[in-house]
């Protein structure tokens, strides 16, 4: 029988605890837990950020990891908070309290659109944030909640979502120019609770719930070029109620259900890979930032947790299992 020593010319280390900074490919036997361990590469890791003042799920997000914006949902459902990389402070309130809306833009130039106003009326309204207060924008043609959003305040895209209760998911895309919405190309697969990010002319719609009435998931990724959607690589772990950040060719998708989980997945424009896991499993959270510097906030219960993702390869400890 082949031995580790015979193959690699060295013996497996016996350590009473895992090394604090394992090397890639380092193998050791933890003599306390009686487990064989190895150092492997993982894409990115999460750290906690400052907690939201208002815990909530079904909110929307915009901005970056160090200049993030959270708005909507919770009680009374119109609260806005601004993140500076350390803590959240209150911003101006949305005129229309609502949950399960979508967001686009930056902390000082954001758009919020769609959603559901209490007690369950679906919305097509758009509001625009200038860093201080919200003002009314143009209405979407399709009223919907749990939609995807991408782009900026004046060049945004809205896609997917649930159009009523009970009513079907929509495949419709709409494009915003800062004043009014016009129709764009339809998704191949109608769905809601998708992971949406990118720009109006290079948007990404990943996974989500294609069922009109119950919990369901799809692995489908679709890419928008400003005119039509085409199929991208399938996600590894199907989700709904997840958040996404980044661009069409460099995206990060995180959290989701079912059940609420900590999964993160990275997309390079072709293929998805798994990344470091969040500490707090949750769905109906919001996201901001880029693939290598993302922000996750809200979702789950109590719904105030914030986590910051830093991309790049890190060596982590994994237990060797199997035969």
Which segment (2-10, 101-109, 133-141, 280-288) binds another protein by CB under 8 A? 280-288
HEC string of 112-153?
A: EECCEECCCEECCCEEEECCCCEEECCCCCCCCECCEEEECC
Tokens of 26: 């380092």
Beta bridge partners of 106: 109
Cα separation, 192 vs 262, in Å, equals: 20
Cα separation, 111 vs 114, in Å, equals: 10
Question: Nearest approach, Cβ of 73 to another protein (angstroms)?
Answer: 11
Could you tell me how many residues make up the chain? 323
Beta bridge partners of 266: 252, 273
Among 207, 280, 290, 291, binds another protein (CB under 8 A): 280
Looking at the Cβ atoms of 230 and 302, the one nearer to another protein is: 302
Looking at the Cβ atoms of 71 and 192, the one nearer to another protein is: 192
Residues in contact with another protein, counted by CB under 8 A, come to a total of 48
Which segment (149-157, 244-252, 277-285, 286-294) binds another protein by CB under 8 A? 277-285
Tokens of 75: 């009680």
Q: Does 66 bind another protein (CB under 8 A)?
A: no
Q: Name the residue among 71, 80, 76 with its Cα closest to residue 102.
A: 71
What are the residues whose beta carbons fall under 8 Å from the beta carbon of 153, sequence distance 6 or more? 104, 105, 106, 109, 110, 111, 128, 129, 178
Question: Nearest approach, Cβ of 302 to another protein (angstroms)?
Answer: 9
Question: Nearest approach, Cβ of 21 to another protein (angstroms)?
Answer: 7
Q: Does 256 bind another protein (CB under 8 A)?
A: no
Looking at the Cβ atoms of 204 and 278, the one nearer to another protein is: 278
Q: In the range 206-245, which residues lie near another protein by CB under 8 A?
A: 215, 241
Among 28, 49, 110, 272, binds another protein (CB under 8 A): 49
Q: Does 18 bind another protein (CB under 8 A)?
A: yes
Among 12, 36, 51, 234, binds another protein (CB under 8 A): 51
Among 72, 246, 281, 303, binds another protein (CB under 8 A): 281
Q: Name the residue among 54, 53, 95, 91 with its Cα closest to residue 73.
A: 54
Contact 65, 77 (CB under 8 A): no
- Give the footprint of another protein on this chain (CB under 8 A): 17-18, 20-22, 30, 32-33, 35, 42, 45-51, 57-58, 86-87, 100, 119-120, 146, 165, 215, 241, 257, 259, 262, 276-277, 279-281, 283-284, 301, 305-307, 310, 314-317, 319
């Amino acid at each position: 029988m082949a031995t580790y020593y015979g193959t690699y010319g060295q013996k497996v280390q016996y350590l009473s605890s895992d090394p604090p900074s394992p090397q890639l490919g380092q193998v050791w036997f933890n003599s306390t837990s009686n487990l064989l361990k190895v150092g492997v590469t993982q894409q990115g890791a999460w750290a906690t950020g400052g907690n939201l003042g208002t815990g909530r799920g079904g909110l929307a997000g915009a901005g970056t990891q160090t200049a993030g914006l959270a708005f909507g949902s919770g009680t009374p459902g119109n609260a806005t908070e601004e993140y500076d990389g350390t803590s959240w402070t209150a911003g101006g309130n949305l005129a229309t309290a609502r949950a399960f809306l979508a967001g686009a833009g930056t902390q000082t130039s954001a758009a919020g659109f769609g959603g559901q106003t209490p007690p369950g009326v679906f919305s097509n309204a758009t509001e625009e944030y200038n860093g201080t207060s919200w003002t009314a924008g143009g209405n979407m043609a399709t009223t919907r909640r749990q939609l995807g959003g991408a782009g900026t305040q004046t060049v945004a895209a809205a896609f997917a979502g649930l159009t009523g209760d009970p009513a079907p998911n929509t495949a419709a895309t709409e494009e915003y120019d800062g004043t009014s919405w016009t129709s764009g190309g339809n998704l191949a697969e109608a769905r809601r609770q998708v992971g949406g990010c990118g720009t109006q002319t290079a948007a990404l719609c990943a996974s989500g719930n294609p069922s009109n009435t119950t919990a369901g998931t799809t692995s489908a990724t679709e890419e928008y070029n400003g005119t039509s959607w085409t199929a991208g690589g399938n996600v590894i772990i199907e989700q709904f109620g997840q958040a996404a950040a980044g661009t069409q060719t460099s995206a990060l998708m995180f959290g989701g259900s079912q059940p609420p989980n900590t999964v993160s997945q990275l997309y390079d424009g072709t293929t998805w890979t798994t990344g470091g896991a969040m500490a707090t499993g949750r769905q109906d959270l919001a996201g901001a930032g880029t693939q290598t510097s993302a922000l996750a906030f809200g979702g789950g219960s109590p719904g105030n947790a914030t986590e910051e993702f830093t991309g790049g390869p890190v060596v982590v400890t994994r237990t060797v299992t199997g035969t």
